[in-house]
Structure 1
Amino acid sequence: MNHIRYIGYSAVHTENFIFDVPGGHDCWLLLLTHTPALFFVDGTLREYPAKCAVLFAPRQKIYYRACGSTYENDWIRFDSTETYVSTLPVQGRPFLLPDPEYCHSLFQLLTWEHTMPGLNSERTVDQLLRVLFTKLLEACSLKSSFPHYHSLLLMRKEIYNHPQGDWTVPRMAEQLHLSSGYLQVLYKKIFGTSCMEDVIDGRIRMAEDQLLYTDKPVSEVAEQCGYSNLEHFCRQFKKTAGLSPTAFRKQADASEQTFLYHDIQLAPPAQ
C-alpha cells in the first residue's frame, strides 16, 4: 500500500536554500535532483552532482542545501508498506541515475495522478511507483559508471526514435565532442552493439512496418527510412530480415490471405 502525502516536480530554489530536519519525517521522502547539491552523508557534508536520486526513510536525518545559484528537484513524501520501497539498498545517500529523464517523466505522471485523481488513480499511482522503484533499483545496483553514459543514452534514444536521420559515426562523434574511435569503443562497451548497428536495426524495423502496413513502393520506403541508394537498402534489409523487401511484403500478404481464408472457412454455413 502506498499513500502520497505531497509530490511535485521541477521545484526551483535560490542559492540560500537549506532543508534541515534532524529527526527526519514520519514518512518516506524521495528526491530527484536536477542541479548539484550538498547532502549530509556519514557525518560529512558532501557535494553530489545533478541527476541523482536519494531516498530518506522515516525518522532518518535529512539535510541538504543548494551549492550553486539555484537548486532544483522533484520530490515526493509518501507512506508505504511495500517491500520494494523499504528494501532499496541505498537509503540516505544520493546515487546517480543513468536515465534521469525517464524518472522525471514518472514524477510528472505521479504528480498529475495525485493532484487530478480519476477512477483508477490509486491503481495507476501504485503501478507508476513500482516502475519508478524498479528504475531506482537498477540505478543503485550498477557496479560501475561509464564516462559519457548519459549523453550516449540520450543519443541512442534519438536513434531509436528517428533512425531515418543522417546518422554517421563522424556526425555522432562531433555531437558528443568525442573522437570517432572512442565513441565506437564506448558505445559497444556500454550497449553491447555498435552505434551504426543500432541505426541499421532501427531503419529496418521502420521499413518492415512500412512494408506491412502501407502500399508505398519499395523505393519510397527506402527513402523514408534514410536510404538514398535503393540497392544498398535492399542488401541491408535482406541481411537483417532474411528476405528482400518485395519478398517480405509478399510473404506478409500471403499470410494475411491465409488467415482470412481460415476465418471464412470457420464461419457457420448459411441456413
Structure 2
Amino acid sequence: MEIIAIRHDWPEKAGFVISRPHGREDYTFLHFMRSMEISVGGKTVTARPGACIFYAPGTPQWFRSESGIIHNWVHLGASVKETLARYGIPEDELLYPRATSFISDIFRLAEAAYFSEDPFKDEILEAYMTEFLIRFSHAIREEPHLPSVGRQEREKMQALRQTILTSPENKWTVPEMAALASLSPSRFHAVYKAVFGTSPMRDVIEARIRYAQSLLLSDGAPLVDIAETLGYADQYHFIRQFKAVTGETPGAYRQARR
C-alpha cells in the first residue's frame, strides 16, 4: 500500500480552496474537522464536521472553507482499490464515521514514520494504514450518535472542540471548557471523551504541539519564545510534552525538516 504523502490535523487559512477538475492519479482520503463546502458527484454540498471521503483516481476534487480548515489527509497508490473493496469502504461518497479521533491518532504516527529513516518504514506504514482502514470500516457501520449523548450535546461539543483546536495557545482548563459547554466538569469530561474518544486536555496538548510544529518550520524563533507563545510557563515543560507527542525534541524536529 503506497503512501505518496500524508499529514495529520493539518491547518489551512480561511478561504482555502482545492480545485482539481481532473482529480489526481492516486487515491485521496480527506477527514474534515470543520464544516466544508465540497463537490460530491458533481454537486456542491455542505459537509458536517467529521466528514470523510475517498476520492478515486480521476474523480474531480473541489472543496473550500471560508473559516479555515483542519483536516487529515493522505494520498495512496491506486493499488489500495482492492483493499477498500475488501473492507467495504465506498469511493467518492461522503462518510460520517463514529468517534473519529482514531484517525488523527493513526495519522500522527504514520506521518512521523513517513518522514523517518527507519529501515522498516514501508512495513510500519503498511501496518498503520491497514489498521486505519479496518477501524474506519468498522466506524462507518456503527450508529453515528452515541446513545448516551444527545444530538444537541454532541453538536455543542463539536463547536467547542473547534474553538479549542484553533486557539491552542489559551491556557485551557477543564472547568473553563465545561463552563463554555454549560456542563459540570465531570459531565463535560465524560461527554467529550464519549464523543471524541480522547480527553479534553489531551486534545489541548496535541493542538499546542501541532501549532508548535508550524511555528518551528515557519521561522527561526528561539524555543523559549515559541513556548511562551503557546502558553507554557517554561520551555522545558514544552520540550517534554513535544517529545511525548512526536517522539522527538523540538530542536530535532526543526533540524530534520529543514
Unaligned runs of 5+ in 1: 155-169, 179-186, 188-271
1:33 aligns with 2:46: no
1:76 aligns with 2:89: no
Aligned residues: percent identity? 11
- Length, aligned pairs only: 162
1:124-144 Cα shifts (integer Å, max 9, x gaps): 111110110012111222365
Structure 2 counterparts to residues 48-197 of structure 1, below 5 A: 48-66=47-65, 68-82=66-80, 83-87=82-86, 88-142=88-142, 145-146=145-146, 148=149, 174-175=187-188
Asked if structure 2 preserves the Cα contact closer than 8 Å seen for 1:32 and 1:104, the reply is no
Distance 1:141 1:97 in 2: 7
Asked if structure 1 preserves the Cα contact closer than 8 Å seen for 2:114 and 2:121, the reply is yes
1:212-238 Cα shifts (integer Å, max 9, x gaps): xxxxxxxxxxxxxxxxxxxxxxxxxxx
In angstroms, what is the RMSD of aligned CA positions?
A: 3.1
Asked if structure 2 preserves the Cα contact closer than 8 Å seen for 1:95 and 1:139, the reply is no
Alpha-carbon shift at residue 63 of structure 1 (Å): 1.2
- Alpha carbons of structure 1 residues 149 and 19: separation in structure 2 relative to 1, 3 Å: farther
Alpha-carbon shift at residue 146 of structure 1 (Å): 4.3
Structure 2 counterparts to residues 242-261 of structure 1, below 5 A: none
Asked if structure 1 preserves the Cα contact closer than 8 Å seen for 2:98 and 2:143, the reply is no
- Normalised by the length of structure 2, the TM-score is 0.55
- Alpha carbons of structure 1 residues 15 and 172: separation in structure 2 relative to 1, 3 Å: closer
- Alpha carbons of structure 1 residues 136 and 174: separation in structure 2 relative to 1, 3 Å: closer
Distance 1:144 1:9 in 2: 22
1:102-136 Cα shifts (integer Å, max 9, x gaps): 11110111111111130221111111101100121
Larger Rg computed on CA atoms: 1
Question: Relative contact order (C-alpha < 8 Å, sep 6+): which is higher?
Answer: 2
Alpha-carbon shift at residue 81 of structure 1 (Å): 2.1
Asked if structure 2 preserves the Cα contact closer than 8 Å seen for 1:21 and 1:61, the reply is yes
Distance 2:190 2:121 in 1: 44
Alpha-carbon shift at residue 18 of structure 1 (Å): 1.2
SS in 1 for 2:77: strand
Distance 2:123 2:21 in 1: 34
- Aligned AA (2:131): V
- Alpha carbons of structure 1 residues 177 and 123: separation in structure 2 relative to 1, 3 Å: closer
